[in-house]
Amino acid sequence: MGKQRKERLFRMKRFDVRHSASANKVGVDGVLVGAWSDVPDRGRILDAGTGCGLIALMVAQRSAEGRILAIETDKAAVDEARVNVAESPWSDRIKVEQADFSLLDDKFDLIVSNPPFFHSGVDASAADSSRMVARHAGSLSPEALIIRGPQLLNPGGILSFIAQSDMEMALLEMATEYGLRLKRLCRVKGHPEAPVKRVLMEFRYPGEMDTETAAEMEESQLIIELEPNVFTPEYTALCRPYYIKIPD
């Protein structure tokens, strides 16, 4: 029994995450999104495709007064996320709902997600790419986040997610088409000699009446390990507030 419990429970410094029911397990991608995203101290935050609730909990730890809606379509994952939230210090600020991202009708200051990676086979530079890609907007994917983001974000709101590195250029072109401004971009490598496998992307939705001059985009690279089980200083600093194995 003891071994089974260890496999089902992932312990962070300030909360625990059960992730046996959710298909979206605790993993490096989710931790990266939760730790890297620009989280406001207050306002409304959406965790799209919350799975076991990991990102919602990480965001709550970083936001002093933010109100978080964590949505998921799978009932078993929703039930599991609700237990994780109920046992956390932020149960009064996180609401978990069984909901479809494509059907939301609300406004947020931040949308954050570790979406399933979906290749639509669409060339974002093609003239009719909007119509073709829009057919896939019902699925939670990087493409769907970009398509629906402007509809769900307040002016000045932020969309932050992780994607496969080979999707970078198509997603950047699509974001421009949908009125999103790239704010930050971070390419992620497992170790110094490895190719870039993931890209963290953060966009700002200026809104129709926005007159703010576009700020300079911040571009960076993050390497996770120098060698097996030896984290880089950058990854250590990013994950220190969460991982028990990284001392304060």
> What is the mean predicted confidence (pLDDT) over 110-135?
58
Phi, psi of 166 (to 5 degrees): -75, -5
pLDDT tens digits, one per residue of 185-215:
999 999 999 999 999 999 999 976 555 555 6
Rounded to two decimals, the pTM is 0.88
Burial level of 9, CB count in 10 A (0-12/13-18/19+)? middle
Handedness of CA 173, 176, 178, 180 (dihedral sign): positive
Distances (CA, A) of 151 to 105, 113, 117, 146, 225: 8, 16, 21, 10, 38
Q: What is the pLDDT of residue 50?
A: 96
